[in-house]
Amino acid sequence: MDKSKNGTLVLSKAPTGVKGFDEITGGGLPSGRPTLIFGGPGCGKTLFSLQFIAHGALHEGENGVVISFEESPEELMINAGSIGLDLQTLIDQKKIAVDFIKFDPHELNEAGTYNLEGLFLRLEAVIAEVNAKRVAIDTLESLFTIFSRRDIIRAEISRLFRWLKERNLTTIVTGEVGPNTSSNSTRYGLEEYISDCVIYLDNRVENQITTRRLRIVKYRGSSHGTNEYPFLISDLGINVLPVTSIGLDYEVSKERISTGIPDLDEMLGGKGVFRGSTILISGTAGTGKSTIGAYFVNAACERKEKALFISFEESPYQIMRNMTSIGLNLKKFVDKGLLKIVAFRPTMFGLEMHLINIMHLIQQENPSVVVLDPINSFLTDVREHDVKLMLMRLTDFIKSKNITGMMLSLTGGGEHTERTNVAISSIVDTWIILRDIEQSGERNRGLYILKSRGHKHSNQIREFKLSDRGLKLIEVYRGLAGVLTGSARIAQEAKEELEQLEYKQEIERLLNKLENRRRTLENQIEIIKANFDAETKEIELQIEQLKHRQSVLEERKKMIGKMRS
Give the interface with other proteins as residue ranges (CB under 8 A).
Answer: 99, 101-103, 107-119, 121-122, 124-126, 146-147
Q: What is the number of other CB atoms lying within 10 angstroms of the CB of residue 363?
A: 13
Q: Which residues contact 67 (CB under 8 A, 6 or more apart)?
A: 99, 101, 122, 123, 126, 135, 136, 137, 138
C-alpha 306/C-alpha 323 separation (Å) is 18
Nearer to other proteins (CB atom), residue 143 or residue 398? 143
Bridge-based pairing state of the strands 29-30 and 13-14? antiparallel
C-alpha 452/C-alpha 435 separation (Å) is 18
Nearer to other proteins (CB atom), residue 114 or residue 317? 114
Q: Which residues contact 180 (CB under 8 A, 6 or more apart)?
A: none
Q: Which residues is 437 bridged to in the sheet?
A: 444
Nearer to other proteins (CB atom), residue 71 or residue 373? 71
Contact call for residues 38 and 200 (beta carbons, < 8 A)? yes
Nearer to other proteins (CB atom), residue 102 or residue 456? 102
C-alpha 279/C-alpha 425 separation (Å) is 9
Report how far apart, in Å, the C-alpha atoms of 390 and of each of 15, 145, 358, 499 are: 23, 39, 11, 57
Nearer to other proteins (CB atom), residue 147 or residue 349? 147
The CB-of-278 to other proteins minimum distance in angstroms stands at 53
Contact call for residues 464 and 289 (beta carbons, < 8 A)? no
Nearer to other proteins (CB atom), residue 81 or residue 118? 118
The CB-of-203 to other proteins minimum distance in angstroms stands at 30
The CB-of-72 to other proteins minimum distance in angstroms stands at 12
Q: Which residues contact 454 (CB under 8 A, 6 or more apart)?
A: 274, 277, 429
Residues in the chain: 565
Contact call for residues 322 and 341 (beta carbons, < 8 A)? no
The CB-of-121 to other proteins minimum distance in angstroms stands at 4
The CB-of-128 to other proteins minimum distance in angstroms stands at 9
- The DSSP result for 229-286, as a single string, is EEEEEETTEEEE--SSPP-TT------EE--S-HHHHHHTTTS-EETT-EEEEEESTT
Nearer to other proteins (CB atom), residue 106 or residue 562? 106
Nearer to other proteins (CB atom), residue 103 or residue 317? 103
- The DSSP result for 297-343, as a single string, is HHHHHHTT--EEEEESSS-HHHHHHHHHTTT---HHHHHHTSEEEEE
The CB-of-105 to other proteins minimum distance in angstroms stands at 11
The CB-of-69 to other proteins minimum distance in angstroms stands at 10
CA dihedral 161, 163, 169, 170 (to 10 degrees): 0
The CB-of-79 to other proteins minimum distance in angstroms stands at 21
- Give the containing element (helix H, strand E) for 465: strand 462-467
Amino acid 384 reads E
C-alpha 146/C-alpha 83 separation (Å) is 30
Amino acid 27 reads G
Q: What is the number of other CB atoms lying within 10 angstroms of the CB of residue 35?
A: 27
The CB-of-377 to other proteins minimum distance in angstroms stands at 52
- Per-residue DSSP letter, 199: E
Q: Which residues is 213 bridged to in the sheet?
A: 202, 230
The CB-of-274 to other proteins minimum distance in angstroms stands at 58
The CB-of-107 to other proteins minimum distance in angstroms stands at 6
Nearer to other proteins (CB atom), residue 147 or residue 193? 147
C-alpha 474/C-alpha 485 separation (Å) is 9
Nearer to other proteins (CB atom), residue 193 or residue 349? 193
The CB-of-171 to other proteins minimum distance in angstroms stands at 17
Nearer to other proteins (CB atom), residue 122 or residue 224? 122
Nearer to other proteins (CB atom), residue 107 or residue 251? 107
Nearer to other proteins (CB atom), residue 116 or residue 389? 116
Alpha carbons within 13 angstroms on the beta-carbon side of residue 25 total 32
The CB-of-120 to other proteins minimum distance in angstroms stands at 9
